[in-house]
Structure formats: structure tokens, C-alpha cells
Structure 1
Amino acid sequence: MARITYKKKLKIQFKRYYEYILIAVFCIAAILLLIYGVGLNIYRNKMNNIMISDVVEKGFQEYTDFLNEAETKNVLNQKLAHEISNNYMAYYINSFKRRAILDSSFILMDTSENVIYSSFSDEEMTMRRRIFVKLAGENVGDTNIYYSTYSQFNKSSEYVMTMPLYDDGERSGSISCFISGTDLEKIMWENKFDGVITDTAGHTIAAADWNMLDAMHKFSFDGGRFVYKGNLYRIAVSRSQNYDVVVYTLIQPLNSSQYTAVVILTLVIILVALGFSGNYLTEWLAELNSQSLDKLCSEITEIQKSGMEKRIELVTGDEFEDIADRINIMLDHLQALNEKNIELDRLNNQMERLRLEAQFDPHFLYNTLECIRYGVRLGDHNIDGIILKLTSLLRYSIGAEDKIVTVGEDLAHLKDYMDIIQYRFEGRFIYNIDISNDCIRRPCPRLCLQPIVENSIKYALPHQKKLEVGIKIWSDSDYLYLRVSDNGKGMDEENLRGMRDLINNESGGIKTIHYGLRNIARRLKLQFGPESCLELNSTKEEGTEVLLRIAIERKSKDWDTSC
């Protein structure tokens, strides 16, 4: 079955995703256009209604507060009593009007229905207005403000607030405030929307276009829609909570043909743009995403050809770079493990050679066999045991299948070796062994102590009348300790420092005949971890001590390598 390339697979996948995105874009575009065509107009009409309603509410409240002020009532009663002039009265009213939102005019009447003060001109103070004020004064209650609408044909009407006046508990007259609808119409013109403001009886106070009203200057509509000059308008309605006022705002929906044309044109533009860019986009994305993988595959192929020394060089800033870094780490570990195994094999081979050289040293065998021969001739009853110990020792030395043995096993064969040495030298060599019971089954390298004891016999015994070798083995929670000490001549600081450098030299570059201690130290580190080590201590004329420290359990971090 033919394989498809990762790049082609990505292109097919991206193309499928692109088709899904295209469908989503069409749906979103249609929803947005629907919102624009219907929802946006409704929202704008509602905002216009809220805005003009707030102006009405705040403007009318300003006049209500002004009329109810004690100072205002006091000034009006003074005017009714002819205690202040018309000029002062005009000054007081105009001071308030300058800070008011809406413009207005005032008429002050006494209880005999005589006009005491008016801010209207003589031309504006018609008989119809006089009669209206008289009727409003008659309809007002004892304390409340009476609201009404003064309609003016073909021009803005006025919203009228009439309030009774009292002086020392006696009715002294009434004040009528005519709030002009002109300012409300200007606000609608400036914000470019149509609207009508009426009282609850349907009398129009202000209208952006008075031609929208019927012959009685009332605003009539069917449900939430209004038709004017063949155009359909949507209506938003709000009613004042404190005043007998209703606010209507109108907005014309988009023309259906215009709306359809906008939708079709927009979708066509989106379709053409995505059609041109889609194929290029999928090709580019596939190329971009496959570059990292192609580079990674190329680097891995190069590693297969060049060997484990090469490392992947990949800088992409994505997951492939992280994969390359992890492969490099794995290669580092594999190379270190390979080098470690090579070093371990080399040391094992060298140790095997040295062990064979030591165990099959002709002088050792000759001297031991000579002792056995003389023992047989002299009828020594212990000679059978010596022969058995030699046989066991030679068999243990030759066998190399198990590289790691238990402490008890290795110590048993070491004891055979020391018993043979003790038999040969009679009273000149003695040894003692001190081992904790929990250490007998602990793992250790094969023949890790015998080379150390051999060193003591080789270099210390010729200079001593009696050589004493002590072996102590104990453990704690982390390490197994094996210590070999003698009472030989020891060594001075210079020789001790040289021996320590030899032991700690891991490269093997120092040429020397003293391979034993260094090989034991390397085997400990390679087989039991870098925290395992060999320590050498010696004092001139006092003796030498060698301590093996073997990790019982491998630690994941913070190994102590200070040996």
C-alpha cells in the first residue's frame, strides 16, 4: 500500500478545516448582516427614545422643582400683592430659565382671573391663551400641579404646568408655566431622527415633522408600525413616570431591495476572497508545518549514517525542536552508557588478567605447593585443609560468570586465601574479621578485597616481624562499608597523594604497575553508581587503611561523590 506524505496529509487536513471555516464565515456573515439590518436599527431607535425621554423628564422636573421652591412662591405672592416690579419679576424668572434645559413662558393670575404678570408678548397673549389659562386655574386642585397641553396649529405646542398659590393659608392666585416644545424638536433634528411627544390624551407637544400628525394634530399609528408617505417606520414608545407625557421615536427599516443587495454583495466578496486565498493558504500551512518534520527526518537519517557522535540541529521554536532536544538527550545517555559499558568491559578484562596473574603467579603456587609437600612429608594433619582451600580458591578465581557476588561469598574465599598465607608464614601473619550479620548478603564486586590484602602482604610483610590485617564490614541506611587495615610501614604524604591521584584518575592515562586499587575504584563507580568509591588513608610507620564505600540503593539526585 502506497504511503502518503505527511505534507500531503497536512494539505488535505487543512483543506478540510478551510471548508469548515468557510461555512462558519458564511453563517457568521449572514447573522451579522441580519443583526445590522434588523437589530441595529431597533437598538438605535431605542437609544433615541431613551435620550429624548431623559431630556423630557429632566426638563420638566426642573420646572416642577422651581415652582415648589419656597422662594419662588414668596416672590410670586409679592408680585400678586404689587410689592415688586415687573422688571424684578422678569429678572427672577429669567435667572432660572438661563440654567434650565427647556425654554418657557409664565403667566401669573390673581383670584379674580386678572393677569398680574406675563412673559408673553402682546401678540402672543391672545384671547385663546387667556381663556386657556382661566380654565386651567379653575381646574387646578388645592395643592397639586395641574398638567395640560396648549396646542398651536402648524407650530410647536406647549406643555403647561399650573400651580395654585396661597398666602397665609388663603388662595392668592395661580401661576402657569408654558414649556415650549421647540427645544425638544431641535434635539430630534440635531440627532437626525423622527419623533413625536404627546400627553396621555394624545395632544401633541412636539414633533420632528408635524406633517406626520392627523388633522386634529394627534399621532395615530397601528401597533408598533407607522406608515408615512408610503414608508414603513418602526416605533419605540416610553411613558413618563412623573408626567402625563408619552414619547414616540420612529426609524425607517432598510429597504428590502437594498438589504438584499448588500447581503449578496458582501457574501460574493467574501467567497471570492476566500476562494483565491484558500488554496494558497493550505499549501503554505502544509509547507510550513512539514518543514520541521522534514528537517528532523533528515537529521535522524544523518545520525544513522554518521554515528552517535552527531547531534540534531533544529531551531523551529515549536514541538519539533523539543522532540529534537529530547532525542539529543537520549543520544547523550546512550553514548554515555555505551562508553560506560566499554570502560567496564575493559576494566573487567584487565581485572581478569590481573587476577589470573595474581592467582596463578608461579611463585605463589610454587611456594604454596612446597609448603604442602613439606607438610605431607612431615605428616601435618592440617595439610588436607590447606589443599582444599587452595583448590576452592583456584576454582573461584577461574570462574567469571557472575560479576557481582555477595559479601559472604567473596569473604569466604578471601578467608581461604588468608589461611593459606597464614599457614605459609606461620606466626608472622594474623588476621581478624568483624562483619555485621545484615551485611553478609549484600552485593559486592567479585574479588574486591583480595587485591587489597595482597598489597598488604606484598609491601608490608617483608618489613614486619608480624603483620596484622583487620577486615571490618558494616552498613548504614545508604552505604555498605568494607575496610581493610594493616600495621605496616605505611607511606609518607607525597606517596599517599600520588596513590590517591592514581586511584581517582578515570582516564587510565597514568602508566603504573599498581592497577589493582584503581580498577577496584572504577568498578565500584561503574557497577554501583558514582557515589560509590574507594578511600585510601596511610600514616608513616603506623599502617595503611583502604575503605570501600558501596551504595546500597541508587539515588536519583544529589549523590555524594566526595571520595
Structure 2
Amino acid sequence: MKENHFQQRLRKEILMYSGALIAIITFVLVAIFIVFNRVSIDMQLDTTEATTRSLVTSSLQQYESQLMENRDSVYSAFLEQKINESSIYGNYYSFNSQQTLKGDLILLDSSLDIAFATNNKFDEDGVFKNYIHILADNLSDETEILQRLYMDRNRNHNLILMTPLDDNKGFAAYVIDGKEVRSQLNKIQAQFIISDRYDNVFSSSSSQFIKGSLEKVDSQLFDKKFSYNDAIYYAKRSYLTPDLYLTVYQQRLVNPSYVTISTLVVLLLAVLLVVFAFVFSKRISYKNARSVELLSQEMKSLKGDATKRLSIQTDDEFGIITDKINQMLEELSDSNRQNINLLKESMVAERKKLEAQFHPHFLYNTLEVIRAAILFDTALANQLILRLTTILRYSIEEKNTEITLESDIDYLKEYLEISKARFQYFNYVIKLDEACKQLPVPKLFLLPLIENSLKYGFKHRQDLSISIEGEQQSDGKYVLRVTDTGQALEKDKASQINHQLQLNQRLGNHHGLMNSKRRLQLMYPESRFELKVDEYFTIIEIEIGAKSDV
């Protein structure tokens, strides 16, 4: 058959060309991301390693040269009291001013007491003195310069460069704070950690892998590629000096440059896709010129005319498509009419809601009560003001137009408490099953019912009582009842109101009932309102079924 032949041919060509294009796009994008991401990270690691190595090794070489040049001359002369502190300070400042990494000089006499220090903090740190004594005992070779890491009492990490003086005159040492390194490398692309063989840290760009009270680095983590906290990292670890390690690492992230490159690639592929689609569409149009042209002309005629329908009569699939389009247009027209009606009803219900939220007499009477209470009972006045502002703010707030029944009842209580203050003998009772409390409802949809009860109930008795009850039935539906002890309606009048409710007709003075019903039915189309009366009570029963998906 022609329609089956056309369907198979079209599907085969679309799948073939689209599959090839998707495969190419996927392969290119994956390859670009993998290659550029890894190359970029390797470049960042190499750059960070080279920058850090250049800074630290050159600085340490200069410090070690300074120690070796001065230990048997200036430093020994000072300990032998041949020169004064001014000479030592001059020598120190002349050298230190030329250094990228600043350090402090310490001279120890033969008794390992601090004879000179450019920073007073070393004299006050007993732990540091003990550590210096231990280092001095480990210095056996007079040509040796010892490199050790030390964390002071302020948790600052320092590098100590220490060497003995000739003839056991004492020791000279430079102390470099790790912050000096970090401040010089604050613009590098990757992260770095400088540590010793015992995982003590000298300096680091981040505290991410530094743990414990001793603030040591977890060096076991650093493979070339490792996972940490659900993230992938790349790292390089090498000797900075015989006693120090340099570790550089970087998390695998999508670099903005990759996004730019990928965007350009996608744009290029999009252009190719457009060209491909153009050529492909021409091939199809050549084979199916008549049907396509007819369909195109008919589709253009639909613009601006909602009643227009397609009239293509062909023996291939375009005839089926025409029927389906016409069917869809009918459904869209019906749906559009329903949506317009629903929108109009919703707007009317919303307007009615705003009109019915508060009767002007309620506000007037409440303000009168507040005015009187200010003179005789300021606590009551304050309480009434708070209750009034709470319910007014809630009624005009548009954040939550759909809330739970329990929450809505809490605000209705404010309204009822104000009414209790106005009417000495008024009372109310609220009983809700647990199953009803989380039921979604329109905001203040029970308020018009309560207003009606107050408005008409107090015309007949001063000890009016209102009851609000809610329960879930065995069939899963919810039933709410608003009962008042005002004079019951006549049965004929109640039947008339129920009939008008079912037909959605206006109820005159009882428009609050219709307002509540329409607002609830927008959310629960299957909900039902019924007015019941007996000898002493008026009961409004509301049955709530399935919620609307609209």
C-alpha cells in the first residue's frame, strides 16, 4: 500500500541520517570534553608546579647561602661579642629586604639559649625552644643545613633552616612562615601542598586535605587520579628538596573555555544540520510534491480562522494526517471554549471571594470594640488588633492560594475570637479528624458560611453557637459541616436553596453559599454542597471528592 510504503521509506531515511548525525555529534563532543579537560588540567598542574618550585627552591637556596656565608663570620662574631646587635640587624635587613619570602633570624649560643631573634615571639614560645634543642642535637655535621617543619602555638606552619657555627659557638637559623608562600601564590590555577616525609605541612593553598589536631596532610590520597567526596581529582607529587615534597592537585571541573569551545562546535553542527535538513526536505518534496504542497497551502489557510478545516483528499498517509489534524482542531476548539469558560468562572469566583471576605459591618463593629477596649481593657484591645491584622494580612496575601484545612481553620479562629469579643454569649466548637487536617482547600472558603451564620443567627438569639466539624468517610471522601444554633430555615426555603445550588443559580442574600461552592469546585469538581435544617439548627454539609487535575 502507498501509505505503508511511504511510512517505511520515510522512517528508514530519517533514522539512517539522524542516527549518523547524532553519532557524530556525540563522538565529537565527548572527545572534545575529554581531551580538552585533561590537557587543561595537566597544563594547570604543570604551571602550578613550576611556579611553586621556582619560588620556593630559589628562596631556600638564598637563605642557605646566607647562613653558610655568615655563620663563621658575622654570627660567630656576635656570639663572641665582637660586634653589637646593630650590625646583626643591618646584615639581616639588607638580606631580608631582597627576599620574596620573608623570614626571621635566630642565633643560639653554646647553651642553646636564644641570644638574638628578629621576632620576640620565639622568646615566649617554650615549645619552640624545646624543638630547637632537639634539632640542635641532630646537627652533627658542621656543613649541614637542617630543614624541618614546625607548627607554633597559633597553628602557624613554619620552615626552619638551621646550621651549627664553628667551634661549637652555637647555632644560626632562619624561620619562614608558610603564609609567605601562600601570599605569593594566590593567583595560581591549581592547588598546592608543601609537606615533609612525615606529612607535616609547611604551606598550602587550601586546607581541604589537611586533617587532625596536628594538621597533617593525608598523602595516601594523592594518586595521579583519585576520588574524594564524590569528586574526581588529578595530582602530581615530586621532591621540592631532599626533605620537602610538593603536591599539586586540581579537581576535574567543566572549564568555561570548554563551554565556549563546545558552543562553537554545536553551532557548527547546527549549521550543518540546517543544510542537511534543507537538502533532505528537498528530496522528500520532490518525491511527494503534490501532497506536500496541498498540505502546506491548507495549513496556511488555517491562520486567523478557527473554523477552517483541511480538505485534502489523497490515497496516501497525507489523507490520514488531514483527518487527524481536523480531529485535533475540533478537540482544541472544544478545549479552548472550556478553558475560556473556566477562566471566566475563576475570575468571577476570585472577585466574589475578595468581595465576601469581610463585610464592612464586621470591620466597623470590630474597630468600635477596639476603641472601647482601649479605654477600659488595653490588653483586650491589643489582642483584638493583633487578631484583626493577622486575618486581614492572610486574606490579602497571594502567596498561598491553596493551603491545608488545618492551617485555614487556624485563621478562621482569629475571626471567631474577634466575634466572641463582640458578642458576650457567642461560642464556637471545632472538631476535625486527623485525616482532614492536611486536606488542601481554597483560602478562607468557609468564611462566607460563617459570616452568614453570624449575620442571620444573631437576629434571633444572643447565645449563638457555631460548630465546624470534619471527618473522612469509609469511601475516602471528606465531609465538612458548619452548624449554627440560629433560627432554622423553613424546609421549603432550604429545598429551594439546595435546588439553586445544584443548578449554580444566584442565591440572592445567600450568595456566600454559591461563592464557597464555586471556589471549592474549581479545586474539587466532584464536591457537593447541601443545606440541611432541623428544629433548632441550620447545617451546611460539604462533601469533597477527587481533586481536579486542571
Which band: TM-score by shorter chain?
Answer: 0.3 to 0.5
| TM-score, normalising length: structure 2 | 0.42
